[in-house]
Amino acid sequence: MTRTFAEAVGELAPDWAPPELPVRALRQTHCHQHAVMGDTADARLLARMGVDDTRLDSGCCGLAGNFGFEKGHYEVSAAAGERVLLPAVRAAEEGVRVLADGFSCHTQIRQGAQRRALHLAELVREAQRGTTDTP
């Protein structure tokens, strides 16, 4: 009964034309979203905005809610993040937007790659404001 931001936009405002934002983005799909809902709506919205979107095939970010904070789990959490996500974020050029809708993913990216990830809604707000400044 839940919807992602992109799904809600697509269902509640199907005729809305999102503002264009000609930027590159590196996107981490939250593991729950990947497993249950998929990310087709996210990709569709980004394409309609003109965003050059690269979806990471990284699986879980490694933090998985509070898993990575629990005693004895840090090494597994860090190793999962280092498999694909964190090296890709570190290698991304400064102007590339890093997208991650999940709180866990945001935290893992901030702590493991020293980058700030944006929620897709924040990227839409950036486009609406007509800015292309990296947050």
Cα 109 to Cα 7, 20, 60, 101, 104: the distances in Å are 24, 26, 12, 12, 9
Rounded-to-integer distance, Cα 60 and Cα 15, Å: 33
pLDDT digits (tens, 9 = 90+) for 88-100: 999 999 999 999 9
Question: What pTM did the predictor assign?
Answer: 0.89
Domain boundaries, the chain: 30-47+59-89+99-127
Kindly report, residue by residue over 2-50, the tens digit of the pLDDT: 899 999 999 999 999 999 999 999 999 988 887 888 899 999 999 999 9
pLDDT value for 134: 52
Task: Locate 18 and state its tokens.
Answer: 């999102």
Is the dihedral angle over the CA atoms 26, 100, 35, 67 positive or is it negative?
Answer: positive
Tell me how far apart the alpha carbons of residues 95 and 78 are, in angstroms, rounded to a whole number.
Answer: 25
> For residue 80, with 0-12 CB atoms within 10 Å meaning exposed, 13-18 middle and 19 or more buried, which class applies?
buried
